[in-house]
A and B are shown apart, each in its own frame.
Chain A
């Protein structure tokens, strides 16, 4: 069974640009969450999608947005990039929302560097 696939794995952008990251969840998983990992901050929740609807949102500015398609694939977009957006962006999928406390299955992440 294929795991969670994230593309691209690495990318470098400059301040002011925008970026789109893609995530393909495990087949059959309908919930997709996004997390940002930075040194010393752990993993911070960005948003969660279930059946194409955003069900939860973390405390990030509106420059961070996402969407989910009918095949459960998800994208997140960051506009007007800032140096502080440099991070590892992790996507995770699960069969249902964590309401049933099922664990998350993470991808390997997309490493974004903003210069």
Chain B
């Protein structure tokens, strides 16, 4: 039972354009959501997070949107840069001490 789903395994965008990565979840007990970025041969690194009491959180070029009624969150990267090419994982927490991750979306930003 996949509680956190990233339905797009890959995404390709042009440098300078917007990248939108999507994530859906099923468990209404999740109250905190995070995005991690992973380069090959490295561990995931924390990117940005959002609490369920908010619907938007912004950090530089990265913005996460949360739609609780739809159980959907998205990560926007504007403008996209070649160095953003990586696998992006969304994750959710119910405060219970573990993160539930999606399957990941591989973003490729082409110059």
Instruction: Tell me the A residues contacting B by CB distance below 8 Å.
Output: 4, 31, 33, 35, 40-45, 48, 50, 55-56, 58, 90, 92, 97-99, 101, 103-109
Partner of A56, one of B43, B45, B89, B97: B97
Task: Known contacts A101-B49, A108-B43; decide if A44 and B101 are in contact (CB<8 Å).
Answer: yes
Partner of A98, one of B9, B89, B99: B99
Min CB distance A21 to B, Å, is: 13
Query: Cβ of A43 and Cβ of B34 under 8 Å apart?
Result: no
Chain A residues near B34: list those with CB within 8 A: 103
Query: Cβ of A109 and Cβ of B99 under 8 Å apart?
Result: no
Chain B residues near A31: list those with CB within 8 A: 97
> Which residue on chain B has the smallest CB distance to residue A9?
B41
Tally of chain B residues near chain A (CB < 8 A): 27
State A101–B34 Cα separation when bound (angstroms). Answer: 9
Min CB distance A42 to B, Å, is: 4
Partner of A42, one of B43, B51, B89, B95: B89
Query: Cβ of B98 and Cβ of A48 under 8 Å apart?
Result: yes
Min CB distance A101 to B, Å, is: 4
Chain A residues near B42: list those with CB within 8 A: 108
State A56–B88 Cα separation when bound (angstroms). Answer: 25
State A92–B93 Cα separation when bound (angstroms). Answer: 15
Query: Cβ of A58 and Cβ of B101 under 8 Å apart?
Result: no
